[in-house]
Structure 1
Amino acid sequence: MTKYGLRARVITLTLAPTLIIGILLSAYFIKNRYQELEQQLAVAGQAIIEPLAIASEIGLANESRENVRRLIGHTHRQHSEYIRSIAVFSSQNDLFVTSNYHRNLDLLAVPRGQPLPERLEVIHLKDALLLRAPIRAIAGFNNALVEEQPIGYITMEMDLSTVKLKQYQEIISAGVVLILGLILSCFFAYRLLQDVEMPIKQMISMIDRIRRGHLDVRIEGKLLGELDTLKNGINAMAISLSEYHLEMQQSIDQATSDLRETLEQLEIQNVELDIAKKNAQEAARVKSEFLANMSHELRTPLNGVIGFTRQMLKTQLSSSQQDYLQTIEKSANNLLTIINDILDFSKLEAGKLLLENIPFDFEDSLDEVMRLLAPMAHEKGLELNLRIDPRIPAGVIGDPLRIQQVLTNLIGNATKFTERGHISVSVELKQQRDERLELQFVIRDTGIGISERQQSQLFQAFRQADASISRRYGGTGLGLVITQKLVQQMGGDIGFSSRLHQGSTFWFTMSLIQTDLPLVHPIDAEALQGQSLMLIEPDHESRLMMRERLAHFDMALSDYAELPETSDRVSSALICVDAVDVPESDALIAMAKQAETFSDRVIFCLPTTELALSEALLTSGVAACLAKPLSVRKLIEQLQGEQQSLALLPPAVEVHTDKAPLTVMAVDDNPANLKLITALLKERVTNVFTASDGKAALACAQKQRFDLILMDIQMPEMDGVTACQEIRKTPLNQHTPVVAVTAHAMTGERERLLNEGMDDYLTKPIEEHILEQVLHHWTHPHSGQTQPNSPLITPNKLGETLNIDWSLAMKQAAGKEDLARDMLQMLVRSFDEVEEKVNLALEDSKVDLSAVIHKLHGSCAYSGVPRLKNLCHELETQLKKGATVEDIEPELFELLDEIQNIREQSPHYLDETV
């Protein structure tokens, strides 16, 4: 905004009113004078033309042109200053006579077709004034004058040039007066500036000197009015500032002295802080080393537990043995997940933990949590129930592992602090907007409850309700903290309500997305039509929840607290055994015999702690024995005719019969791990060599050429990295791929090992499908890859360089080949839409790719395409951070290439159907 000085304001405010008023007044008077002059000329013309019209009547009536010419000529000459021409016209609008020659007589005449003027007409032209008056014949009648119709008319043209000259003179006079007024105003403005501006400039100069520290200066002289008051105020201010300056100087001297002392103390504190910082950095390093070592020490035995459990599951087992081993495997995996949570606690604190966004079967995921936690609840005689809102769709998109982790934590806590009663888990659909589902999970228990004083400590790290509970029930106190942060990171909220000795209720909310992808084979409800089921459940709440979950199937359902002595005939009877009071096997067999009298099929639902009773029950003729809490899918499969038998089950996993003609060396200092890796490799390759440390591995590498080496990292005498570097120097294995196999899972461990010479990275416990991917990638030539024993580009993630990983697809499809083919086929069919959208975005950067990338990411999760899935994950992460199309353009081209590769390879897996 423009700032104007005092001079400009005074001149403006002085001259502007004078100029405006002068212009307005001049314009007003000039306009009036202009109109007045024209009116005077018109009046003068009227005074001339009206007598002429009367005087011309006789000459016109008698057609005496000479008389009329003399009359109008005389008048023209008398007023030649104003009159240009006078003309008389007959009643037929013909020129009768004119005072002089006129170049445009049509201008003087009435236009053809218009009547003669009845009265005086005044017509204003550009530079002339035209007057027309009628000439009437006047005759006497009864001594009175009577006007008749016009016998002609007279026209007189008057010149306006004289009038305009006078108008211009008036304008010039007004301008002269206006200029004189402005000059006078300028004079007064100048005088005002002299009286005001000069003192003000003097004050400004004085204030500037005071600002620069000259506090002894004063303004002298007598000024006008308020300026003198302002002068006195400035002088008083200078006096006060001088006094304040003196006091301030004294204060500064004192403060400087104090500051010197403070600086000395700060130097001492800085030294102490520097020492404390170094101690903290050392503590952080020790903590990182501790976490890394703890990870290694815990993962190493877990690798053996999980690995040999899976190997045992490949053998022929009874149903109970298989169930026990599956429980061991799931529990070990749960322990592994807890270890990962502890290692990722720092990520949670920093908000850097990445969540999966994949489709999964909602009910199966919750049933898996209930199966894992059931043994702990049943050992204490607790009933564990699950209720799912029937409005919740089967398929959803989210992070199933983190949801299971949150539920495991909350249900585990409820079980830990509950001695009797039951634990109920319910999931409600609170709101649905398009495909987005707002869910609320509620976990209720009948445990010891939490006092108001203890509730404030629940969500604090390494803290429990109080010391006594911690000593009695154990635990690190990290569970609820991790749970709270996970729920918040998933966009939800968590809370609880509790009263001492009256139980607790924990709840949390989260948002998931509905999907129509076929995650598991749907339950064939039509096969249940016409069937009837009798439900026997002693626990009232469990009976209500089970009835609600079975109510939407089309079959007759009746429920009882205990087995009735007689009943109408039913298709099946489901007898649930209470976890608190489990009868002996003889009593259960007697119940089964009684139920067979009115039921075609008897099914028992046993607590997980009593599964050993299933062998005796199945031998007695019971159709099936299921574990509590009841899985609806397993029950429906039994009702459809899929019965268990006492015969040994076939191997759970197909044994590899076609071994690759490869020579692989496994190196590990742990005998259990080495034995497990050897067993896994012997199922897949022909020749397997083992070494228990780095020196032994180096000795083997100097004598034998290998196609692949699996190298443990932490070993005595020579670690894995050193052994890898030494093996690179041998002539036989200088190009052999070396894959690091380690239990270390800290952030940055993989990048460190790859930078130090390793070709790939494999974490313990070893997943068989990932091991198979590693073997396939490093020992089988395929599109875009080099031959074995040649330098390779390290993949971003295990298996990621495989366009289609069929073993992974089969694992994701629960071993169902038809489902795996369907999933891959649906993925390939969606490529056209993705390519069209991406190409459009590359042409027009304003196109939003979030929805199509999100949809493709979900489709990749169950189709065995790890590299495409990782590309989608990276793109979706960048888009959520606000990246533009230009920022992710290289990744988009890579995505299009990967889509084309999958499209070309898919016919080999779909029998040329795509």
Structure 2
Amino acid sequence: MKRSRFPYILGTSLLVLTIGASFLGFFAYTNLNQIIGTLEDEAKPRVNLLLLNNISMELQKVEYAMERYVYTNEERHMIEFRESIASSVQILDTLKKQNNEPIILNSLDSLQDLILNKGTILSQVADLDYESMEETFANLKLQLNDIQTKTILEDTLLRKKRGFLQNLFGKKEEVISSDTIDIYGSDEYQNIINSQLDSIASRSQRQAYTQKLKEFTLQQDHQDIQARITALLATMEKWEIDRIRSQATNAQGIARHTNKYVTMFSVAVPLLLLITFTVLIIYIMRTKKHQEALDSSRKNALKLAKEKEQFLANMSHEIRTPMNAISGFAKILLKGNLNEEQYDYIRIIDKSTKHLTHILNDVLDFSKLQSGKIKLESKPFNPTELLEDTLRLVEDKAEEKNLRLEFETQDLPEIVVGDPYRLRQILLNLVYNGIKFTEKGGVYVSARKEKSSKGGVRLAFEVMDTGIGIPLNRQKHIFNEFEQVNREDKRKGTGLGLSITKKLVSIHRGKIKVDSEEGRGTTFKVELPYRLSDQAPAEDISNSEEPVLQKMHILIADDEEFNRKLLMAIFKEHDISYDIAVDGAEAYELMSTTDYDVILMDFRMPKMTGPQVAEKIRSELNKNHTTPIIGLTATVSDHDMKMAKESGISEVLRKPFDTDELLNIIKNSYTLDEQASNTPSPQPFDLKSLKNMGDDEFVKDMVETFISSTKENLRELDKCYNQKDWQQTAEVLHKIIAPARHLKAESLVKILKSHELEARDGKAISSLEYEKIKSSIQALVDSLQLHLHQKNQ
């Protein structure tokens, strides 16, 4: 219990610590932001103090510039005065932008008004009338100039009054010298000057008094404004200093809190990392254990699946082998002279074996479907004939219950390509199911072409019965494993039939659905896709003219005595001669010395298995090199079918088998082999293309070159194959393919090319396939040698 709660406690603690660390980090981050904001705010007051000091300096520059202007009356000082006033106003605007407190803004507005008033007063000082005396003396100078000009004009007029004759004949007049100083000496002009001087003196006294009065007034106003400016600047500087101190105190407090949070965060984070690391280590260790447990479980599951498969195969073999004997001997006895009671007993035995076989087949098929080992065949068949044959198999069942068994077809194609065995299994399961749960009425089967497309068709099959029906709440479960329509009756099968049918339909990529009404019957609808084909299905020659079985000589190879006795009884009944082998080694010895028409050989035998014997026989050029071999097995698994194909077994017959089934497969194998042996094989080459390139000598030379090079390549091929050097094997095959193409040996080229590609991919070539390759090459060489021999004759 503690172990199960530990991860939750640890996880909760980790979550709490994570949340706590997050809060501490958040508070630390917030306080750091406050400190940064405080530092930024502290920078502003210092800037404000600096700007206020700049205003004081600019005001000093204003007074200095005005003072210099008054004494020198130079315009540059007036320009400096105006620039300082403008600079002060600009600094005030900067302070207004950097501050938003109303009291500071109001103070700055007042300071700006005072500075402007100061400038106005100083400007008025500069405009005082210090030049009034100069104007008086300038007027006096003008009057004196008028007097001088008047004297000069009078003298000029006297000289012009002389007559023309006097100027022409008279003697020259004496030049009279005169001076303007004499003019100033006159009383009239002296009085004018005195009057002007008196006026100047009087006016100077009045003007001096007025100027002193203005200067005093302006000085008082300027001092008052300067005092107010100084007081206001001092007040503002004190505010800024107090604010700096307050912000510094606040920053210290925030710093103390921040330091506390940072300390707590510094402690929490390592603790959190330590716990996280601990949790991670624990998680990794537990994950590793879980992974190991999963790997172990997977290996155990795979091992269990293999053991289950092997167990089913073994049990199938162990059950089917005696069942084969029971069923076979029961059928033989049923053909004998029995009284009525004995006939009934044997018939019950026969039915029981059929029922047991059906159940066993369901279990094995279900196991294969679960493991995904069932693969669909692809061969042409006639769906109408298949349906008729299928219903013949269940006629006895329907007759036993007095049920009608009818079928109809509509627009079915003549030939389709697919898996006829699995279609028959689907239909048998559905028809059996209908017969099983129907007591009155019958079972009706219909088949039609649902839809077709280019090269394909969908066939629809319906199996309808008049049985007990399926309740609505049970219809969606009937395709589950081990489910039955009537749960109360457990004696009617394993509950696997419909589940197997559903899986088989899914493998076909088809559809199946059920339509049922309780007490009225059930209809199953199946749709399956097939390919259309013009190829006729393989002819079933079991019902054709029967070969003379009495002339056949068959080898029976089986280690089970009752299987041998059953086959012996069947063959005696049909006057077929036979030999007996009890193990694989004895069977091989008999095959090496005796010529047989058909060989019946069990898959599992001591000393040598059936596939091992077949592979060895096929690889040797002995009497039974091409004899049909029928493999007998209780389990037709994919592995068995693969071994049969690779070893050269012609047909596989599953136990228990019916006598007719056995005889049919024997007749089919024997007849096909006889037809193959009687059919002349076409020439494996064509020399037309070589003849078009040259004369007969050229053709002969090319054929002889191919024969000699191919023999050398065969020796090299043996060497590479024995060393399992597949890449080099592919190279040798490629050397043979090129000249074989010139000889138009298409069948050989096809065989060699497929094995060349496999060898290049690193795939091993089985001994049986290798022998086929060698025999095919040798057959071409022999044919070419025969051709040359015939040409030379």
Q: TM-score, normalised by structure 1?
A: 0.37
More strand as a share of residues: 1
More helix as a share of residues: 2
Q: TM-score, normalised by structure 2?
A: 0.42
Structure 1 or 2, whichever has the larger Rg, is 2
